[in-house]
Copies of this chain bind each other. A is one copy, B any other.
Amino acid sequence: MTNETDPRFARSRDAILNAARELLLESGPTAVTHAQVADRSGVGRATVYRHWPQTGPLLLEAMATVPMPFFDKPTAPTREWLRRELTAIARQLELDDVRAVATTLANTALWDENMDASRARFASILADRLAIALDDAQARGEITLTLTSRNAAAMTIGPMYYRSTIERAPTDSALIEAAIAALGAWSTD
């Protein structure tokens, strides 16, 4: 049967995933078909079927190859860390492929349960990491939260996400600062 370690297998797999990612970025999720992926990757059509009999999982794995913005391990002071992270996320959201993956995830998840699981995983990683960082910061007296820490992700990423996907414009630093300030009262020292 299929040997996962065979270099030929790995080569085809990579070529297919690359082509799928390119197609998603250039023409959207509907362009990720067996035929188009085969053409683009130079791999035979039958080979694409062998690796991914359904295009859904292929699209899912292709999306996973795009590095998505996450909250890195928090450092002190939390406010500076948060500012850095949010700025990085804002910059990421200006990249075409990140926007493509994010909006495809949000949209496809409404009808595809595998995609929905992926969305949920992504959302909870972001929410968890930020909540932990903020709870720690509060414990250290850096901030007095006016918001549940579970609301922090929506409050900070939400505006940037809306700005880049609906308003389709870059996020300015004023928006980031306002979001940081909205989390609670930061101690000024």
Q: Write the nearest CB–CB distance from A169 to chain B, whole angstroms.
A: 9
Q: For window 80-123 of chain A, which residues contact chain B by CB distance below 8 Å?
A: 96, 99-100, 102-111, 116, 119-120, 122-123
Residues of B contacting A28 in the complex (Cβ-Cβ under 8 angstroms):
107-108, 110-111
Q: Write the nearest CB–CB distance from A152 to chain B, whole angstroms.
A: 10
- The reply to whether B107 and A168 contact each other, CB–CB distance below 8 Å, is no
A15 CB-CB contact with B under 8 Å: no
- The reply to whether A151 and B168 contact each other, CB–CB distance below 8 Å, is no
B-contact bits for A159-177, CB 8 A (1 contact / 0 none): 1111101111001101100
Interface size on A, as a range, is 35 or more
A179 CB-CB contact with B under 8 Å: yes
Partner of A168, one of B111, B120, B174, B181: B120
Q: Write the nearest CB–CB distance from A163 to chain B, whole angstroms.
A: 4
* Docked complex Cα distance between A123 and B122 (Å): 26
B-contact bits for A119-160, CB 8 A (1 contact / 0 none): 110110001000000000000000000111001011101111
- The reply to whether A106 and B165 contact each other, CB–CB distance below 8 Å, is yes
- The reply to whether B161 and A111 contact each other, CB–CB distance below 8 Å, is no
* Docked complex Cα distance between A120 and B166 (Å): 7
Q: Write the nearest CB–CB distance from A87 to chain B, whole angstroms.
A: 15
Q: For window 48-94 of chain A, which residues contact chain B by CB distance below 8 Å?
A: none
- The reply to whether A147 and B168 contact each other, CB–CB distance below 8 Å, is no
* Docked complex Cα distance between A111 and B166 (Å): 14
* Docked complex Cα distance between A120 and B119 (Å): 25
Partner of A147, one of B109, B110, B162, B178: B178
Residues of A within 8 A of B (CB): 26-30, 96, 99-100, 102-111, 116, 119-120, 122-123, 127, 146-148, 151, 153-155, 157-163, 165-168, 171-172, 174-175, 178-179, 181-182
